[in-house]
Amino acid sequence: MSFRLFRREDIHSLAAPYALDALEPGERARFEKHLRGCGSCAAEVRDLSEDAVRLAWSTAEPAPAAMRERVLAAVRTTPQELAPRDPARARAPQLPPHVWGTQPPPGRTRAPRSRPLFVPFATATAAAALVVASLFAVQAERTQDQLDAERAQAREIAHVLAAPDARAATGEEAGGRSIGVIASASEGRAVVTLSGYNAPPSGKVRQLWLMRPGAQPRSLGLFESDTPLVASGLSKSSTSLAVTVEPDGGSAQPTTQPVVQLALKSVGFEE
């Protein structure tokens, strides 16, 4: 899709197509040059990222009219039929035992909430635009390499969201902290976020692990600030995701008990 129809004064409207890597090379270069010095575009992207956080983990209800119109205008598409307001939530599965220790203390972790990703984001493309926009609250001093890396991660997130079996779930602790997952069993990938956690102690990081029956935990990466973590290589037999606090740089195997865990059955694995 080309966005040559945009006049020069409409370059601010290219933020969402840029995030989705939907611009042609010339258009992309022009917008990137504009983006490095445009505070209003950065502010607009930050607004979209706030909308994304609210929508990605909210109950299925129609988006506010003003936001819906803004997204539709950005991606130039037509809204699809909305899903029911109150889709049935999947029954919370029992978390498997930790491979390297015991179950978390009773009552520490609330049951995950699961739902298909067919909530009324205006369209699948609009949903992807909202979520990946959170990766593009750019600063003028960012290098082109950083922009390219962020756009590559945005494409990975959009790919997971576009999967026909993509589902979302959250696992909550008693203190209000939570892990959010949008996953596709057919793709073997998941987008994972943490919410409500303070920064880890100095010299420590939070590390994500994949739990599988009869196997040692496998590292899926380290969380960096509030940036979503894209995990790949998830098999249909994968049982859960777990987060531990590890020394800076991460560990080959977990050295502490999980601070939060979510059963992957809630997002279509083990089915």
Structural domain that includes position 138: 8-267
Q: What is the pTM of this model?
A: 0.55
How many Cβ atoms are within 10 Å of 132's Cβ, its own excluded? Answer: 28
Give average pLDDT by consecutive 10-residue segment, the chain, 271 residues: 49 68 73 74 57 48 52 50 45 48 47 49 48 49 64 80 87 80 91 89 94 90 86 88 94 93 87 62
pLDDT at 212: 86
pLDDT at 65: 56
> How many domains would you assign to the chain?
1
pLDDT at 19: 58
CA 101 → CA 98, 256, 264, distances in Å?
Answer: 5, 9, 19
Crossing angle between the packed helical segments 65-75 and 124-133, to the nearest 10 degrees: 100
210 in a domain, yes or no? Answer: yes
DSSP 199-231: PPPTTEEEEEEEE-TTS--EEEEE--TT--EEE
Report the distance separating Cα 129 and Cα 225, nearest Å. 21
Report the distance separating Cα 127 and Cα 104, nearest Å. 34
Q: Is 248 within 8 Å of 259 (Cβ atoms)?
A: no
pLDDT at 136: 52
36 torsion bin: left (phi>0), alpha (psi -120 to 50), beta (else)? alpha
Report the distance separating Cα 234 and Cα 142, nearest Å. 32
Report the distance separating Cα 65 and Cα 249, nearest Å. 44
Report the distance separating Cα 98 and Cα 192, nearest Å. 19
